[in-house]
């Protein structure tokens, strides 16, 4: 499962960021695919991006005059979330892939969580509400226009996949980089460095898209199921889980990114990842 | 690959929805997407996404 996931992540990232002309010329794709959003955090200013970022799209709609409910982005959230939940984070997010790769570097003693995890894990909800939500509604830019606050002040995916390739290949943009760019670059470097030691720190503590999809984990079509009756409570799943989740938590936790490590590790085969045909998270498992 | 069926009576009794939660979510998603299309929101997304977002890359 681990190797399959890595292959899927790489292929997905290449396909959704396959506009090679953009990388070579410091430009971005401007075709019709950008009417729709991809499921993961994927900056639409990445030179290779073929579709839109759902979090960027949310802020673009909130940046309109007055307040209008952003129905289109809610639609994408419900569609992707109901089908996949945080499977998107584990399998279909380019920035998640980047953090996964960095965590493989054999430097430092690896840790699954930061100290004060039980408090810090709510950071992503604060980012969603305060930056992507209220920030995009009320913060004003230099020309008194509303600003996409999450993209502007925090998003490390935009810095890595958008800013660095664009500034590297476009001299005009490079000449305009100022304090804000260096703030975002510093944040990016801190998150990337932390990723070598801690498993996916951005996903665990800061990603507003993870906060959205986490809500769908309980009832999404793709599920991880734990069968209590067959469990020997050896805790092999907890040891294998990169997020340190207990077997009771795996099915329903908004933190689970559906990586499948628990299912691979379970010696009693009582954890399965697959498609739910039932009515909710409490449905028992049946082998097909 | 596995599938699950809800054949447990207790679980069925607890369930409030007559259809699986994910199905209701998908239907809501399609409804919201349609409402967004009617209100021209896809054009707003497109117009933002085809211009280099200076804020996103730390210049704006």
Contacts of A76 in chain B (CB under 8 A): 29, 33
Say whether residue B16 is in contact with chain A using an 8 A CB cutoff: no
pLDDT at A286: 41
- The pLDDT of A58-82, averaged and rounded, is 93
B45 to A61: CB separation less than 8 angstroms, yes or no: yes
Q: Does residue B13 belong to the interface with chain A, where contact is any CB pair within 8 Å?
A: no
Residues 6+ apart with CB under 8 A from A12: A91, A92, A94
* Choice between A112 and B13, residue whose per-residue pLDDT is larger: A112
Q: Report the gap between the CA of B50 and the closest CA in chain A (Å).
A: 5
What's the CA gap between A80 and A269, in Å, rounded? 28
Tokens 């639409």 -> residue: A44
Which ipTM was obtained for this model?
Answer: 0.87
Contact B11 A284 (CB under 8 A): yes
- Reported in sequence order, the residue ranges of A145-260 that DSSP labels E, i.e. its strands, are 222-226
Coil, helix or strand for A198?
strand
Which pLDDT score, from 0 to 100, does residue B1 have? 52
- Most confident by average pLDDT, A1-10, A169-178, A277-286: A1-10
Convert the pLDDT of each residue in A130-155 to its tens digit: 999 988 888 776 666 788 999 999 99
Say yes or no to pLDDT of A283 above 50.
Answer: no
Predicted local distance difference test score (pLDDT) of residue B20: 85
Q: Tell me, what's the pLDDT at B10?
A: 44
Nearest to A100 by CA among A8, A37, A223: A8
* pLDDT tens figures, A203-235: 999 999 999 999 999 999 999 988 888 899 999
| Average pLDDT score over chain A | 90
CATH number of the structural domain A217-275: 3.30.70.3270
CA distance A5 to A70: 32
Residue A288 has what pLDDT?
Answer: 34
Is the pLDDT assigned to residue B5 strictly greater than 60?
no
Instruction: Determine which of A26-35, A196-205, B2-11 has the lowest per-residue pLDDT on average.
Output: B2-11
Q: How far apart are CA A134 and CA A59, in angstroms?
A: 10
Name the percent of chain A lying above pLDDT 90. Answer: 70
Determine the pLDDT at residue A281: 45
According to the model, what pLDDT value does residue B21 have?
87
Pairing label, strands B3-4, A271-276:
parallel
The larger pLDDT score, comparing residue B14 to residue A240, is at A240
Domain residue ranges of chain A, discontinuous segments joined by +: 2-214, 217-275
Alpha carbon distance A89, A72 (integer Å): 21
Scanning A156-185 for CB atoms below 8 A from B yields: 158-159, 162-163, 166-167, 173, 176-178, 180-185
For B53, nearest residue in chain A (alpha carbons): A45
Q: Which of A108, A92, A93, A128 is nearest to A205 (CA)?
A: A128
In this predicted structure, what is the pLDDT of residue B9? 44
Cβ distance A147 to B20 less than 8 Å, yes or no, reads no
């Amino acid at each position: 499962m681990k190797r399959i996931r890595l292959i899927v992540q790489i292929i997905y990232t290449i396909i959704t960021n396959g506009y090679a002309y953009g990388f070579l010329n410091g430009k971005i794709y401007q075709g019709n695919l950008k009417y729709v959003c991809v499921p993961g955090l994927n900056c639409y200013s990445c030179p290779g991006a073929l579709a839109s970022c759902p979090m960027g799209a949310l802020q673009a709609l909130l940046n309109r005059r007055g307040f209008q409910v952003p129905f289109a982005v809610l639609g994408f959230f419900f569609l992707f979330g109901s089908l996949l939940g945080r499977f998107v984070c584990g399998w279909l997010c380019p920035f998640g892939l980047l953090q996964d790769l960095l965590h493989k570097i054999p430097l430092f003693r690896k840790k699954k969580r930061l100290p004060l995890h039980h408090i810090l894990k709510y950071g992503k909800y604060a980012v969603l509400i305060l930056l992507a939500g209220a920030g995009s509604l009320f913060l004003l830019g230099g020309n008194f226009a509303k600003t996409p606050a999450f993209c502007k002040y925090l998003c490390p995916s935009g810095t890595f996949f958008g800013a660095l390739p664009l500034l590297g290949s476009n001299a005009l943009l490079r000449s305009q980089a100022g304090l804000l760019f260096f703030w975002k670059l510093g944040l990016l470097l801190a998150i990337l460095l932390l990723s070598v030691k801690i498993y996916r720190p951005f996903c665990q503590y800061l990603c507003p898209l993870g906060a959205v999809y986490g809500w769908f984990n309980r009832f999404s079509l793709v599920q991880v199921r734990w069968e209590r009756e067959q469990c020997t409570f050896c805790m092999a799943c907890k040891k294998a889980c990169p997020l340190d989740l207990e077997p009771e938590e795996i099915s329903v936790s908004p933190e689970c990114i559906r990586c499948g490590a628990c299912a691979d590790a379970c010696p009693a085969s009582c954890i399965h990842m697959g498609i739910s045909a039932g009515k909710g998270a409490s449905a028992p498992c049946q082998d097909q | 690959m596995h599938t699950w069926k809800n054949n447990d009576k207790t679980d069925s009794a607890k369930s409030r929805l007559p259809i699986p939660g994910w199905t209701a979510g998908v239907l809501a998603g399609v409804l919201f997407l349609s409402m967004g299309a009617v209100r021209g929101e896809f054009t707003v997304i497109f117009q933002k996404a085809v211009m280099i977002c200076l804020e996103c890359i730390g210049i704006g």
